[in-house]
Structure 1
């Protein structure tokens, strides 16, 4: 069967290619660049815990050395701290990393992956699709024709794939603008990110009185100054003056020592493609959506697109297309991003509007600071990982279903499990292999070797039920899971979202839930109704 064609070699395209290859799907990545990402110290990304783990799993490296996990977060207003967060086990730290470093790590993994071909200097020019595949033509020094089973456009905001498929991309332009600088300097409380609203010193030039400071390795900081609406020109002289003024305000030194590494202006747009699937063609990342106001990270959502789409494309590649499963990519992911954009639209007039009565309401400023913190830290409606509770892949209500602390459709907790080879691994390490995960919660099993309890108690019956499922599945055992009673059986999707929890071994319910998860929800619902009759 022909490979999957991925158009675009940014982080999302490279991550998708690796995620497909990990599931034994060959991939061709069309990269219009010469194969290098230009280093820019001021072009950085913040990855939440789930997306950082996804990239690390694909790249096979720990990104903590290349980026920086923040020690904490502060929100300041004038001279006072209005909120503080210390990161640890209960509050995982975001990872801040230069985008070219992230891309280089993914490119290095691509170079080691025999199932991925990276075609540089290959700009998409035209494409055609029919019932059996997609043909793409590239131009440039290596222009040629490529044949693929599916094609995914990960080619950014000006996506050629989206334009060739005549897919509309409505939304809002210039929702926010920020002047950006990367500086190497020493600031109080190193390693701690913060947002400073209405700093007490006098501002210079067209700046709106809100500064984000996010640390990177090596004493480097990315500083973002919110710009007021309009198209005021930010000259290099104005930006240098603003750097000095800001560092003086934070350090108290009249002539603070710093090294200016990079500058720029970052404009945030909010857009959402009307369709994310057109037959055998899909959109992902910035080609499908743009967001990023209030500190939210569009790359987070792009990587979640890749994670969601990879296992569904892999299933279609190996077992033949299943339209309900492929359609669910657009249904699930577009709903999440759409909700994120609606939340931002609702917050925008509150946080960026004029003064008026809200300036005099006690506690209002603190509430606004909390909303901004949600965006920067990936919390709440502005930034928390989405749930697929209303997915078309969700199973019908099952008689043996029991709740756990993770709601159905949400990402599972990363507990330690015993794998089939007897090793103890984080649950997250078993994701992304194309298999459903069946997790039995069995206290006490951790002190015995797997071979001693695989044939005891309920394990033989559960193992037989897992073998009979309509999709490949892996049986894992956990000592405990938040909110789960002993002998609870959890069904987890290949991308780490909980399908359901069952109160013991119920082969028929487990089969029904698994069939729904791989696109047979209608058939599963019919059988459940027939069983009830």
Structure 2
């Protein structure tokens, strides 16, 4: 096969979708018998909504979720006033989505899985990878059931304790974000309205929050416990937390659907590539969940890697193109870790800093700015939405192709529009399959050399 993806979380499923629509022979393997059952990564940031629109799942995501409610702080059984969770980000033609959209992670994964199957992709559940060996032509992957798989490339999307990352000897460098233990759980709760995110801070810095999960009857319980505490993840244990931190009775928590304990940590893999093996998602970066960056950054990993694997395997691009995955994504992941830690510690406000619309690759070797006087949109920037001759740009971008704005398409595989919107400024812009400007020039002169580096000539 072309690509073996280890792990059927959001990273692996998003990558599987991208490879399937490119016609690659790919398989996702997952050691568990089914999809992840919890709500953990519940925030879909605006940039990820743009990615999901391209992958064909945004309508389902929007239907399944809802906006974030305002936060209410309770003290001594008294309810305070509403507080917005995010500083507002103004919408415009270039950014149609500016608010995070709440969808429990389990539901996001169901939607991604359904789309993957619709495109002919497959997930082998109950297939645990235990080790691998590489050679010049591919990767031999061993499984716990005694079977083996062979692929030209392997992508580790198997989480923070990645077996694949360890098998290829890549370390992680990081730090503890908070020494306190945390609990997150999906529960049913009576006695609280679903219009607000209810928070119950304690004087010692610990606390508990109950957030209504959009599209469900559940609440997500999140609690910070005193240092040295061992979380009790049973129904009785969580009832004791509710009774201790809130005005509710423990019995108001009527059902426990899923629970997990963790200590926030920020860590970055030393490399994102080891030969024919790539690291993506939590296998490459672990973080505090504060600010809703992890799932979103992981999906961006998949979106960056998918078109590059397709270009090398089926498009005739040079192998060196795959080196740009680590070059681009490791720097972005490092920035995300710092941002998540800042949000966790109260140093960064959720809003403009966390929607991911400003992330790009200005320093990448794939970003070539050739104009004498660059405009507001430069090579390496996210390509904003807009309209050209009645055509919406995001509609034109949708699909596994490149898009050229302001010139005639020079080769097959590039879709052309006669101009760029005024918001882009003057020039010719070549937009990558993942929605970033790869090349910008005053005219199309010199574009051919760039196209050759990405397998389009």
TM-score band, normalised by shorter chain: 0.7 to 0.9
Per-residue CA deviations over 1:131-186 (Å, capped at 9, x if unaligned) read 2222223232xx43322121111111221211111111232357364333433557
Per-residue CA deviations over 1:101-135 (Å, capped at 9, x if unaligned) read 22222222232333x34333322233222222222
Q: Displacement, 1:86? A: 6.0
For residues 431 and 120 of structure 1, what CA distance do their matches in structure 2 show?
30
SS in 2 for 1:170: strand
Paired position in structure 2 for 1:283 = 279
Paired position in structure 2 for 1:523 = none
Is the aligned partner of 1:492 residue 2:431? yes
Paired position in structure 2 for 1:95 = 101
Instruction: Choose which of 98, 118, 123 in structure 2 pairs with 1:118.
Output: 123
Query: Which stretch of the first structure deviates more once superposed, 153-162 or 168-177?
Result: 168-177
SS in 2 for 1:224: strand
For residues 380 and 159 of structure 1, what CA distance do their matches in structure 2 show?
29
Written as runs of structure 1 = structure 2, the 5 A alignment for 1:386-405 is 386-395=359-368, 397-400=369-372, 402-404=374-376
Contact 2:206 2:224 in 1 (8 A): yes
For residues 83 and 107 of structure 2, what CA distance do their matches in structure 1 show?
33
Paired position in structure 1 for 2:164 = 161
Contact 1:387 1:411 in 2 (8 A): yes
Contact 1:401 1:501 in 2 (8 A): no
Contact 2:66 2:215 in 1 (8 A): no
For residues 393 and 484 of structure 1, what CA distance do their matches in structure 2 show?
21
Q: Displacement, 1:287? A: 1.1
Paired position in structure 1 for 2:380 = 409
- The higher radius of gyration belongs to 1
Written as runs of structure 1 = structure 2, the 5 A alignment for 1:114-513 is 114=120, 116-140=121-145, 143-173=146-176, 175=178, 177-181=181-185, 182-184=187-189, 187=192, 190=195, 193=197, 196=199, 199=201, 208-209=206-207, 211=209, 213=211, 215-234=213-232, 236-237=235-236, 239-243=238-242, 248=247, 259-262=254-257, 264-267=259-262, 268-320=264-316, 322-344=318-340, 351=345, 368=346, 371=348, 373-374=349-350, 377=351, 379-380=352-353, 386-395=359-368, 397-400=369-372, 402-404=374-376, 406-417=377-388, 424-427=391-394, 430-433=397-400, 435-440=401-406, 462-463=407-408, 466-468=409-411, 472-476=413-417, 480-484=421-425, 488-503=427-442, 506-513=443-450
Contact 2:272 2:278 in 1 (8 A): yes
Over aligned residue pairs, what C-alpha RMSD do you find? 3.6
Q: Displacement, 1:264? A: 2.6
- Cα 1:120–1:83 shift into 2, 3 Å: closer
For residues 190 and 396 of structure 2, what CA distance do their matches in structure 1 show?
37
The higher relative CO (CA closer than 8 Å, separation ≥ 6) is in 2
For residues 385 and 262 of structure 1, what CA distance do their matches in structure 2 show?
36
For residues 94 and 132 of structure 1, what CA distance do their matches in structure 2 show?
42
What runs of 5+ residues in structure 1 fail to find an aligned partner? Answer: 352-367, 441-461, 521-533
Q: Displacement, 1:244? A: 5.3
Q: Displacement, 1:306? A: 0.3
Per-residue CA deviations over 1:330-351 (Å, capped at 9, x if unaligned) read 0110011112224455676xx3
For residues 383 and 428 of structure 1, what CA distance do their matches in structure 2 show?
20
For residues 273 and 414 of structure 2, what CA distance do their matches in structure 1 show?
27
- Cα 1:134–1:316 shift into 2, 3 Å: same
What runs of 5+ residues in structure 2 fail to find an aligned partner? Answer: none
- Cα 1:211–1:139 shift into 2, 3 Å: closer
Q: Displacement, 1:401? A: 5.2
- Cα 1:234–1:57 shift into 2, 3 Å: same
For residues 473 and 331 of structure 1, what CA distance do their matches in structure 2 show?
24
Q: Displacement, 1:284? A: 0.7
Contact 2:46 2:355 in 1 (8 A): no
Residues matched between the structures, number? 443
Q: Displacement, 1:328? A: 0.7
- Cα 1:413–1:245 shift into 2, 3 Å: farther
TM-score when normalising by structure 2: 0.82
Is the aligned partner of 1:55 residue 2:52? yes
Paired position in structure 1 for 2:35 = 37
Contact 1:11 1:106 in 2 (8 A): yes
Q: Displacement, 1:96? A: 1.7
Contact 2:362 2:379 in 1 (8 A): yes
SS in 1 for 2:337: helix
